[in-house]
């Protein structure tokens, strides 16, 4: 029995090691192949497949290419041409077939926005123009709600010197609505987010200007919308997720880079901002929110020599750098898989300049949370540390919390892979700064939970941290 547990423990950490490998998935001659931070170049489906789009350039022609990871055989295929165009963004439905939408730009006599859809990423329907053919249009962003409606925003030129933010909806591959909803000067950025778990049809969107950001929300399919937050800064980003049984209100996060190039986040009320990363940060993209716990994000430093994957716990400068990728020739334009939601890991891509093949597009799957172990806690500066053993466990896991100072009694909660609270553990005080608890794999009703991955969330005062544990009875 002891040997079986040891082998299982070893195999679990081998899986962790393998998910952290970088993979070259495609090359491009376009230095902007994976731009823009709110355009989703990578999505996942229910079946473990990953879909990536990017732009390539042949002479003066721009091509949109795709590459697919086959979740069954565990391999990336060769890249292939989908259509002519540039600036692609993906959106994926929650339907059984996980229909994929591709929205992109084309340059004819006037710059236009087009739409394609596919059930397998190989065969695409007939393309349709969804923008006004008499107006210069750019920078489309898109997402899908729980009703299967494809929601799209882009920036369109007006007859005067202003620009319009255009909203369009596509239902069953047909353009159902197109409206200019806001007219402003100097629009530079657009963001969008529907619910990550496809629970509702609420829609969040944002506009970036030269030195400010505006965030909006609609609860009724864009019949009405209202401003929820504004600030000095640039590069607005949004992530939105909650569960129907949650009592938490702050289920979406609004991000931006402030005037000092620090990455900041605010919640639904906008009452205060959280410093996520001290600058200079010049580019970032946001993954999903696991409610009550936190969320992942990817960011580039000023000189673009390192790409960081971080996890935010929602307190001031409260992110933990999960992984850092370095590039010999610089790193560029990352994109993270925003859908489908995954509790365990993140998938992201980025570009690296190559001395021989233009630009290489690479992929990495990284752990979202840190494994709890008996060894010293990896996180520093939060005022406490947490360790746990054995992990994986079959009967009981013991959790120890050590405080650096007098920050209050720890609260330890267990969440499942849908971010649902399973149990709040009884805390025992060993010394003034030492606390311990244990979990036997039961819920509040003392029923045994299912085998699988769980999260320990430890909160001390206004700070918290999360650890992965594996229950294997």
Tens of pLDDT, residues 90-130: 999 998 889 999 999 998 889 999 999 999 999 999 999 99
309 neighbors 300 (Cβ within 8 angstroms): no
- Average pLDDT on 235-257 reads 78
Enumerate residues 6+ apart whose C-beta is below 8 A from 421. 292, 413, 414, 415
CATH code: domain of residue 393:
2.60.40.1930
Q: Higher-confidence residue: 326 or 225?
A: 225
- Average pLDDT on 382-394 reads 92
Highest averaged pLDDT of the listed ranges 118-127, 320-329, 402-411: 118-127
358 domain residue, yes or no: yes
- Averaged pLDDT of the chain: 89
Q: Quote the CA–CA distance of 350 and 426 in Å, as a whole number.
A: 44
Find the largest Cα–Cα distance for the chain.
76
For residue 340, is the peptide bond before it cis, meaning its omega torsion is within 30 degrees of 0? Answer: yes
Q: Which has the minimum average pLDDT: 54-58, 101-105, 293-297?
A: 293-297
Enumerate residues 6+ apart whose C-beta is below 8 A from 454. 414, 415, 416, 417, 422, 468, 469, 470, 471
Same domain, 273 and 412: no
**Residue 20's pLDDT is what?**
60
173 domain residue, yes or no: yes
CATH code: domain of residue 188:
2.120.10.10
250 neighbors 228 (Cβ within 8 angstroms): no
The residue among 336, 368, 400 that closes a domain is 368
Same domain, 204 and 346: yes
- Average pLDDT on 51-64 reads 94
**Structural domains in the chain (count):** 2
The candidate with the shortest Cα–Cα distance to 13, out of 467, 472, 470, 473, is 470
Same domain, 417 and 323: no
Same domain, 359 and 388: no
What's the domain range around 264? 22-368
Q: Quote the CA–CA distance of 141 and 138 in Å, as a whole number.
A: 10
Q: pLDDT-derived band of residue 19, with 50, 70 and 90 as boundaries?
A: low
Q: Which has the minimum average pLDDT: 265-279, 293-307, 375-389?
A: 265-279
Same domain, 100 and 249: yes
Same domain, 180 and 325: yes
Same domain, 392 and 364: no
Same domain, 77 and 159: yes
Q: Which has the minimum average pLDDT: 169-173, 292-296, 316-320, 327-331?
A: 316-320
Whether the pLDDT of residue 305 is over 90: the answer is: no
The residue among 311, 344, 368 that closes a domain is 368
The continuous run of DSSP H or E covering 294 comes out as: strand 294-301
Same domain, 339 and 445: no
Q: pLDDT-derived band of residue 80, with 50, 70 and 90 as boundaries?
A: very high
- In 225-280, which ranges are E strands? 226-232, 234-240, 252-257, 263-266, 273-277
10 domain residue, yes or no: no
């Amino acid at each position: 029995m002891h040997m079986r547990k040891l082998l299982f423990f070893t195999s679990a950490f081998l899986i962790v090691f393998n998910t952290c490998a970088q993979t070259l998935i495609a090359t491009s001659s376009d230095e902007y192949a994976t731009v823009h931070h709110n355009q989703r170049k990578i999505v996942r489906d229910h079946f473990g497949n990953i879909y990536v789009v990017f732009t390539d350039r042949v002479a003066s022609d721009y091509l949109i290419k795709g590459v697919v990871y086959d979740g069954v055989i565990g391999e990336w295929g060769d890249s292939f041409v989908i259509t002519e165009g540039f600036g692609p963004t993906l959106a994926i439905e929650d339907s059984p077939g996980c229909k994929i939408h591709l929205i992109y730009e084309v340059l004819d006599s006037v710059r236009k926005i087009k739409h394609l859809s596919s059930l397998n990423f190989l065969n695409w329907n007939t393309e349709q123009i969804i923008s006004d053919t008499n107006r210069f249009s750019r920078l489309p962003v898109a997402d899908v709600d729980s009703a299967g409606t494809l929601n799209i925003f882009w920036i369109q030129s007006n007859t005067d010197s202003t620009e319009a933010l255009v909203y369009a909806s596509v239902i069953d591959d047909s353009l159902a609505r197109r409206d200019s909803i806001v007219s402003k000067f100097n629009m530079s950025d657009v963001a969008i987010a529907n619910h990550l778990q496809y629970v509702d049809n609420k829609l969040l969107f944002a506009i970036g200007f030269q030195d400010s950001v505006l965030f909006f929300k609609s609860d009724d399919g864009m019949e009405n919308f209202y401003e929820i937050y504004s600030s000095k800064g640039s590069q607005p980003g949004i992530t939105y997720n909650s569960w129907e049984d949650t009592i938490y209100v702050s289920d979406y996060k609004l991000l931006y880079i402030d005037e000092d190039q620090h990455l900041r986040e605010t919640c639904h009320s906008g009452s205060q901002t959280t410093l996520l990363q001290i600058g200079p940060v010049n580019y970032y993209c946001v993954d999903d929110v696991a409610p009550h716990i936190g969320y992942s994000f990817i960011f580039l430093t000023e000189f673009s020599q390192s790409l960081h994957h971080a996890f935010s716990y929602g307190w001031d400068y409260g992110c933990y750098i999960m992984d850092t990728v370095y590039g010999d020739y610089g790193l560029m334009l990352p994109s993270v898989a925003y859908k489908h939601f995954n509790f365990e890991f993140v998938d992201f891509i980025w570009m690296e300049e190559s001395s021989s093949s233009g630009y290489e597009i690479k992929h990495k799957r990284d752990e979202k949370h840190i494994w709890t172990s008996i060894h010293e806690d990896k996180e520093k500066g939060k005022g406490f540390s947490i360790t746990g053993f054995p992990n994986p466990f079959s009967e009981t896991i013991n959790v120890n919390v050590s405080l650096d100072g007098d920050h209050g009694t720890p609260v330890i909660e267990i969440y499942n892979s849908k971010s649902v609270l399973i149990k709040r553990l009884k805390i025992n005080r060993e010394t003034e700064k030492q606390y311990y608890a244990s979990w036997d794999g039961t819920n509040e009703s003392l029923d045994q939970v299912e085998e699988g991955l769980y999260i320990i969330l430890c909160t001390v005062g206004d700070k918290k941290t999360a650890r992965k544990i594996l229950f294997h009875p």
